[in-house]
Amino acid sequence: MSELDIVKLTTEMVNIPSVTRDSNQAIADYVEHLLASRGFEIERQSYVDPQGVSKFNVIGRKGSGEGGLAFFSHMDTVPGTGWEDEAWNLKAEPDRLIGLGACDMKGPLAATIVAADSYAAGDLTSPVYIVVTAMRRLPPLKRSTSSSTRRCSSRIGPRAGVCFKPTKLIPVYAHKGVGFVKFTAHGGAAPPAPRGGTRQLLNPPSRPKGGLPTELKPTVVPKKI
């Protein structure tokens, strides 16, 4: 299998318009086909944004086992306004690529695909993921889509992730993150509330040992991958 060319991949993706307000199906199809052809296991998610537009996320996985490393990118771009040349016709210069989304972030997406593709699945001790979302800022998920998203989140579970946003090539550690707190209440089932009354779920509800924390302070511990 021949090696992937980062400039070729970036050119092909820039040439596919994917403005945030529109559906990203065309570029999602491209990314999915590319990753599948290079031996990645594919998961594709679909949802409808608040404006009623169909959107698609693509997740590629290579290798097996627990943990691993995930590369995060998004497919959408700002509108192609104010360009002297055609925004979706990438122009290659000796030291740069010029086109809508070349920097943010189809070029970085191409770089992560080339990096992950350079390793054979059998040589990996833990999996590598390419996670590509439809939008850089995801809208609130509807109830119908939240369960599938939770299944995806529990499936990938990487130990570390890298988001290749343009930051003057200066790595930013723990720039963003998500924390989860799970509470389990124990008690007997309460009878149904009378009409107009207040429903009581547990009778009596127990309190978490030590009470509730007034402030949660996450602790970041660097780990080797």
Q: Is residue 147 part of a domain?
A: yes
Q: What is the pLDDT of residue 40?
A: 95
In a 10 Å sphere around its CB, with 0-12 CB exposed, 13-18 middle and 19+ buried, how is residue 179 labelled?
exposed
Residue 188 lies in a domain: no
Q: At what angle do helices 6-14 and 107-117 cross, to 10 degrees?
A: 140
Q: Give the pLDDT confidence score for residue 179 in this predicted structure.
A: 62
Residue 194 is predicted with a pLDDT of: 63
Q: Residue 151 burial (CB < 10 Å; 0-12/13-18/19+)?
A: exposed
Per the structure, the complete domain to which residue 159 belongs is given by 6-163
Residue 194 lies in a domain: no
CATH number at residue 79: 3.40.630.10
Other Cβ atoms less than 10 A from the Cβ of 17: the count is 16
Residue 182 is assigned to a structural domain of this protein: no
Q: Is residue 112 in some structural domain?
A: yes
At residue 116, the pLDDT reads 94
Mean pLDDT in consecutive groups of 10 residues from the start of the chain, 225 residues: 91 94 96 96 92 94 91 91 81 88 92 94 93 78 43 63 75 64 67 59 53 50 44
Q: Considering the domain boundaries, does residue 134 fall inside one?
A: yes
Please report the pLDDT score of residue 215 as a whole number: 52
pLDDT reported for residue 57: 93
90 within some domain: yes
- Considering the domain boundaries, does residue 102 fall inside one? yes
What's the total number of domains in the chain? 1
Give pLDDT, residue 144.
40
